[in-house]
Structure 1
């Protein structure tokens, strides 16, 4: 077992070592993952595993083995199960593709250029990168990693692989000193080509801060801004459901900040509230429930069921801490199916009264809206509330596999796999679903003009709806908003 401390890219695994890693991973998935068979039949996963196992019959390098393992993780179709490189594979010396890339109408453009060649300005079309067309490359990367995307949904995979294009590229192809690109400058049909040096992450960030400092998004989480006084419209940006403090087990800081935001919403007499949850990958479910309390019309539950396999208990109970066993018994009970279920699943969250928002709700969402964000979207849709703008979120309407996680390290390659331990089923009615994910009422995509301007095209579209008085689902109860004036 083990191959010493060779650099990851130079590491060579023998067939026996690769087999040992695959068997170890399969064992841990069988033992811990609560969703095996949910999206892909277990028989199909078994066949795939056998094929992957049998096809390693010669020494294989580290990156080749990473590519080899990836289909097994992807077959689960679970956005919370992630294959990650060994520690320090991507480090301070790693070099990245020097662009932020955005897609519009099937073509790919530079939105921000961190290379030394400043002639490749915003709106430059990228045609090929190291000999691969951008549509081909994007498809490869979005199929290589299903993080943030449940089931057969494409929006999450498409969104994250584009937003984090440089990271995905480095993860799949490794560090690269330079890239050969074919491109067309804005308003020019001439196909040009050049080779560009690739920066480290530190240089990438430094150049971005220098060239695009006025574009740096400095909006804090849970920030409120009035965007249209005539229609009394405000935007509440919810970028994460993680609290601002590193150690805050009861998430008090998030709770206080959320309350302050809705005090501001009430003081400004907001009648149309736009919740911007674009690229909000989730966080603490308790915080998603706290947000819902400000508009849900009656007491509600977030989850119908929270279940885990019996082996998950060993991951949550620390034998060196006797209190952990007591705590586990207080939180979980045997479910009668060979596992455990959460005792507090049926907890009711009561709506806020004094700061309750009773106006129109609009949600800006995309494939990066995932996990706890999907919980908010699903519960609001289930309540018959909200107007949804953008694209389908990354998570499933029914729920997901999350809650607690175990990161396992494969014994020889040292690759890491994050495995969720709980199956979380939303307390929602299937009849209220508008698709596998929460689907938009109004699908809005980026145009080339949006690439050039960098504007928030979803917000612009939503403001147009509000000015026309369009709300797909009106508030459950109404109030004389004019009395607040």
Structure 2
């Protein structure tokens, strides 16, 4: 859902601004007040991961910094700890008119595509004219070691729910150059140290541009495929891949896909279904609920409740979908200090579809399994003891949180002086019957941790799928019902 919301932000609040713009303390404080008011009135789960007293201290510390003039970039970075404290991967903090990953520097960007795993980095490709071989380990950039760079960047990144870092690593794999420029610098050259075989080498690299990075990405993106597809690999095994839970008007209908696919799975008597949810950042919540009815053999509850912060009109200028504004008096109900949204399919008790799959299910996940995708994975994980067939999770921990996902409809406000857009998901989707999960700030932890190596990435080898196939066909397959 992250890319979809970004497109909406650009469409609704397209205002070009300059990072060189200087803001005086009065302007900074006005933007700070708008920011704080918006979070307090909109965010449904503001204190889930960071208690209010800690948040209040962070607000006070940030306000104290705004006693001098700042550039737009300095203000952007000064507000960053407040965004990180939300532990909400859906929060949007975007300089109007700019790509969210390249908010300031566009001409002096790091010229290598990297792959990060734990505290190391490897070269996947060259965006510019450098000749560093693919697959070599990168040791340092301009005197900073890779662990030191990660210590600088990871605490400033927001693409994660709770205390997850998997989503942050996935973001670095795609947008490291932008993060480096924003939070470390955009120098005229980059002195890199890398290890090739047993030899350590040094090379000075010229920077690249945002347009060159995007041209490379476009050229090397995978061949276009339907966003959801079913492949039967052998008489008893099938792979269902869901790239996203939304589709364009010219793409296949999701309901039709599910009906046809599960009817075929049942007719073929498939015993092992692999559900590939890797790199699926989400989409329509109702689609996750629908798919869950095809993977359950007993009635179940999907959401426990959907929290909303307030019912009255916001006290600040903002964009919110007109339909919601008109209907909020009918669909919101008071609960505790806030409200709950009452009209959603996922709040009703769900019945299994007549063609629901009951065999062994293998769910593939990673750090980019987010939003609706994590909700579905959490539902399958929480209910797996009830299924006839085993449910086994393979890959890496999800980027989204297990127990709650703050997203849905967004309210968007533009800070009046810095011209930075703040987008806040209005709904807190709290999953039903997940109290037994022992981690309050984690995602779905796989039963089998499988992390692709740099050789897998460079050679485009799907080691997670290969591992899962071995699990299925091994006489001693480690199928997991619960843990």
The two structures share one fold, judged by TM-score above 0.5: yes
Q: Deviations over 1:440-464 (max 9, x none)?
A: 1111123343244231121122112
Q: Deviations over 1:371-428 (max 9, x none)?
A: 1111111111111151011221122221122222112211110111111212211112
Deviation at 1:175, TM superposition (A): 6.2
Deviation at 1:68, TM superposition (A): 0.3
Deviation at 1:136, TM superposition (A): 2.2
Deviation at 1:177, TM superposition (A): 6.2
| Equivalence for 1:479 | none
Mapped contact 2:189–2:206 kept (Cα < 8 A): yes
Mapped contact 2:280–2:368 kept (Cα < 8 A): yes
Mapped contact 1:101–1:109 kept (Cα < 8 A): yes
Deviation at 1:353, TM superposition (A): 1.4
| Equivalence for 2:29 | 19
Q: Residues of 2 paired with 1:236 and 1:221: CA distance?
A: 11
Deviation at 1:86, TM superposition (A): 2.7
| Equivalence for 1:442 | 448
Mapped contact 1:307–1:340 kept (Cα < 8 A): yes
Q: In terms of mean alpha carbon deviation, does 78-87 or 363-372 score higher?
A: 78-87
Q: In terms of mean alpha carbon deviation, does 465-474 or 168-177 score higher?
A: 168-177
Mapped contact 2:319–2:413 kept (Cα < 8 A): no
Q: How many residues align?
A: 455
Q: Residues of 1 paired with 2:479 and 2:189: CA distance?
A: 49
Q: Residues of 2 paired with 1:388 and 1:261: CA distance?
A: 21
Q: Aligned match of 2:239 in 235, 240, 248?
A: 235
For residue 437 of structure 1, give the secondary structure of its aligned residue in structure 2: coil
| Equivalence for 1:9 | 19
| Equivalence for 1:154 | 165
| Equivalence for 1:133 | 145
Mapped contact 1:94–1:200 kept (Cα < 8 A): yes
1:30-429 equivalence runs, <5 A: 30-88=40-98, 90=102, 94-95=106-107, 96-104=109-117, 106-117=119-130, 119-147=131-159, 149-172=160-183, 178-185=189-196, 187-201=197-211, 203-208=212-217, 212=220, 216-227=222-233, 229=234, 232-245=236-249, 253-266=253-266, 269-311=269-311, 327-335=327-335, 337-344=337-344, 346-354=347-355, 356-384=356-384, 385-429=390-434
Q: In terms of mean alpha carbon deviation, does 337-346 or 46-55 score higher?
A: 337-346
Deviation at 1:263, TM superposition (A): 4.2
Two-structure CA RMSD over aligned residues (Å): 3.2
Mapped contact 1:241–1:284 kept (Cα < 8 A): yes
Q: Residues of 1 paired with 2:287 and 2:451: CA distance?
A: 29
Q: Residues of 2 paired with 1:439 and 1:320: CA distance?
A: 35
Q: Residues of 1 paired with 2:435 and 2:82: CA distance?
A: 30
Deviation at 1:264, TM superposition (A): 4.6
Q: Residues of 2 paired with 1:106 and 1:305: CA distance?
A: 38
For residue 300 of structure 2, give the secondary structure of its aligned residue in structure 1: coil
Q: Residues of 1 paired with 2:97 and 2:397: CA distance?
A: 33
| Pair 1:112–1:323, CA change in 2 (3 A) | closer
| Equivalence for 1:467 | 473
Q: Residues of 2 paired with 1:151 and 1:177: CA distance?
A: 36
Q: Residues of 2 paired with 1:259 and 1:164: CA distance?
A: 37
Mapped contact 1:386–1:471 kept (Cα < 8 A): no
**TM-score computed with the length of structure 2 as normaliser:** 0.84
For residue 283 of structure 2, give the secondary structure of its aligned residue in structure 1: coil
For residue 125 of structure 2, give the secondary structure of its aligned residue in structure 1: strand
Q: Residues of 2 paired with 1:219 and 1:351: CA distance?
A: 29
Deviation at 1:48, TM superposition (A): 1.0
For residue 282 of structure 2, give the secondary structure of its aligned residue in structure 1: coil
Deviation at 1:110, TM superposition (A): 1.2
For residue 230 of structure 2, give the secondary structure of its aligned residue in structure 1: strand
For residue 75 of structure 1, give the secondary structure of its aligned residue in structure 2: helix
Deviation at 1:6, TM superposition (A): 8.7
**TM-score computed with the length of structure 1 as normaliser:** 0.84
| Structure 2 unaligned regions, length at least 5 | 1-14, 385-389
For residue 10 of structure 1, give the secondary structure of its aligned residue in structure 2: coil
Q: Residues of 1 paired with 2:91 and 2:353: CA distance?
A: 35
For residue 379 of structure 2, give the secondary structure of its aligned residue in structure 1: helix
Mapped contact 1:141–1:161 kept (Cα < 8 A): no
| Pair 1:398–1:189, CA change in 2 (3 A) | same
| Structure 1 unaligned regions, length at least 5 | 476-485
Deviation at 1:174, TM superposition (A): 7.0
